[in-house]
Amino acid sequence: MCNTIFTVTGCTRCKIVKAFMKETGIAFVEKDIKAEGKDEFQQFYTSNRKNIYRGADGIEFPIFTDGNIIRQGIGPVLAYLYSGEKLDGYFSVGTLHREWVDGIHISSGNPGYAEDFLAVLRYLKGNSMKLKLDTDGRNSYILQMVLDQNLADHVVMNVLGPPELYSRILGEDVDLQDIEKTISLVPQFPEYQFQTTIVPVIRHNREPADISYMTPEEIALTASFIEKVTGSKKHPYLIRMFQPREAGDNRLKSLEAIDPKLLFTYRTAARSFQVFADLERQ
């Protein structure tokens, strides 16, 4: 099968990807799902349903395939066309529309390909797209380059927890100086937000595992961490509720969700250090 791109009539993101392929000499066949490509896409979707994300607003386009791989959405498609699988992790299917592109993850890609990652961001910005990036604090030097080159319009930092729990929550060793550097950079972007999910923490490595949710005191320590690094109590700070059914670790799927009534205790604790702390709407 040749390079095929499934598009929708009038789709700006599709036009941007097609322009990139033409500029870089990548041969392709276009299938407009609102026109001659409708039946072929239905067959393709039926055969590859598990590899195509369908959100509340429907299926995101463009969708690219070379017969072996499938990439969906402007970020993942451009990343694959630019560098093959090297940029996997940096981009996923986004949820924002019009001029905004999200699903861009500073901390999830291979830092050895940072320059390729930045090149994709530059191409998106050069086509008048606004970029929303997220980070958990790792790869702060990449975020610094994004800032220096004015490549992000909105940055969300998932501050996973207080310093003493960061590695345990992430499941790998982290350089706290890297995390602190990211915290210091985030407020320098045009729009930004800090957020923390009240996750369950595996307290002891034994069977059965000793698992309990982060406490209000630990959320307070997380908010205090942000204050100490930035010198300010006045950042947008969102406290999010953990959804056990969405957990990747099977040990966490059977947990009871936190009683929503208890969330106000977490917010009160956080506001001692971040006065704009608020709860995610359920």
CB atoms within 10 A of CB 279: 15
Same domain, 278 and 230: yes
pLDDT for residue 20 is more than 60: yes
**CATH number for the domain including 247?**
3.80.30
Over residues 222-278, the pLDDT tens digits come to 999 999 999 999 999 999 998 877 766 677 767 788 888 889 999 999 999 999 999
More confident residue, 260 or 189: 189
More confident residue, 56 or 121: 121
pLDDT for residue 207 is more than 60: no
From residue 232, how far is each of 140, 161, 183, 236, 271 by CA, in Å?
A: 20, 18, 11, 11, 12
Same domain, 120 and 182: no
Over residues 159-187, the pLDDT tens digits come to 999 999 999 999 899 999 999 999 999 99
Same domain, 124 and 158: no
The domain boundary residue, chosen from 107, 137, 167: 137
pTM to 2 decimals? 0.93
Of 66, 46, 61, nearest in space to 16 by CA: 61
Which tokens go with 140? 């702060």
Same domain, 125 and 219: no
Query: What total number of domains does the chain contain?
Result: 2
Name the one residue in this structure whose structure tokens are 């994709």: 120
pLDDT for residue 282 is more than 80: no
- DSSP letters for the chain: ---EEEE-TT-HHHHHHHHHHHHTT---EEEETTTTTHHHHHHHHHHSGGGS-EETTEE-S-EEE-SS-EEESHHHHHHHHHHGGGGBTTB------TTEEEEEETTTS-GGGHHHHHHHHHHHHHTT-EEEEEESS--HHHHHHHHHTT--SEEEEE--S-GGGHHHHHTS---HHHHHHHHHHGGGSSEEEEEEEE-EEEEESSSS-EEEEPPHHHHHHHHHHHHHHHS-S-S-EEEEE--GGG-SSHHHHTSPPPPGGGHHHHHHHHTTT-TTEEEPP-
* 205 confidence band (pLDDT: 50, 70, 90): low
Which tokens go with 244? 């056990």
Q: Are strands 63-65 and 200-204 parallel, antiparallel or unpaired?
A: unpaired
- Mean pLDDT over each residue of the chain, to the nearest integer: 93
pLDDT for residue 50 is more than 90: yes
pLDDT for residue 74 is more than 90: yes
Query: Of 33-37, 55-59, 226-230, which has the strongest mean pLDDT?
Result: 226-230
The domain boundary residue, chosen from 137, 163, 196: 137
Domain membership of residue 109 as a residue range = 1-137
**CATH number for the domain including 26?**
3.40.30.10
* 203 confidence band (pLDDT: 50, 70, 90): confident
